[in-house]
Copies of this chain bind each other. A is one copy, B any other.
């Protein structure tokens, strides 16, 4: 498999975590986001959205959208499961993942922040507000779930999304005040699958 990514992309990091949790490997091809590498014609032919990550499977099919890629990896390598439990529990895990992947990250990504800056507004403050709103909700959603991970004894798709978003929060100087989320992150970072897949360990890290 080939993973098209970028060291600092939190969506690409999600996929790197899942590959590591599953014991799978993929060749990494970096696309430099700040230089517009993801808008190059060759890459747009692979992913018309011009976003990372994209995963090329061994039979050459191209998969996009990090959550869809994570679920694909969970289906081809079911252990350990990213979505354990009954359908309602699986739905709650997916919902927590979507709070990050739909309601935080796309609204504070580079493309949107550039538009906010073009309005003459403080794009850092915009990002902080989006992250704080999302984390306030996520903290409440996770208040009653069993620990030490977001949904119990093993990491799930929710943890996979939460950890990269926390790193993102620090980049924007968000004041961290979510004890449950912070405890989950600390637990995850005890695992190589989360720690060694972080941005700074990637071959294209600057």
Interface code A99-113, partner B: CB below 8 Å = 1, 0 otherwise? 101110111000010
A48 to B92 Cα, complex, angstroms: 13
Interface of A is mostly: helix
Interface code A52-88, partner B: CB below 8 Å = 1, 0 otherwise? 0000010101011101110110011000000000011
Asked if A95 is an interface residue, CB under 8 A from chain B, the answer is: yes
Asked if A141 is an interface residue, CB under 8 A from chain B, the answer is: yes
> A106 contacts which of B88, B90, B102 (Cβ < 8 Å)?
B102
Asked if A137 is an interface residue, CB under 8 A from chain B, the answer is: yes
Asked if A173 is an interface residue, CB under 8 A from chain B, the answer is: no
Question: Contacts of A154 on B, CB cut-off 8 Å?
Answer: none
Asked if A121 is an interface residue, CB under 8 A from chain B, the answer is: yes
Question: Contacts of A91 on B, CB cut-off 8 Å?
Answer: 63, 68-69, 71-72
> By the criterion CB–CB under 8 Å, are A137 and B102 in contact?
no
Question: Contacts of A75 on B, CB cut-off 8 Å?
Answer: 87, 90
Asked if A32 is an interface residue, CB under 8 A from chain B, the answer is: no
Categorize the interface residue count of chain A: 35 or more
Asked if A22 is an interface residue, CB under 8 A from chain B, the answer is: no
In the complex, residue of chain B having the shortest beta-carbon distance to the beta carbon of A111: B133
A106 to B72 Cα, complex, angstroms: 24
> By the criterion CB–CB under 8 Å, are A49 and B99 in contact?
yes
> A94 contacts which of B48, B65, B119 (Cβ < 8 Å)?
B65
A140 to B64 Cα, complex, angstroms: 13
Which A residues have a C-beta under 8 Å from some C-beta of B?
A: 48-51, 57, 59, 61, 63-65, 67-69, 71-72, 75-76, 87-88, 90-92, 94-95, 98-99, 101-103, 105-107, 112, 115-116, 119, 121, 126, 136-137, 140-141
Given contacts A48-B137, A65-B102, A116-B119, 15 further A-B contacts (CB under 8 A): A49-B103, A51-B103, A57-B88, A59-B88, A67-B94, A67-B102, A72-B88, A72-B91, A75-B87, A98-B102, A102-B102, A102-B105, A106-B107, A107-B112, A115-B126
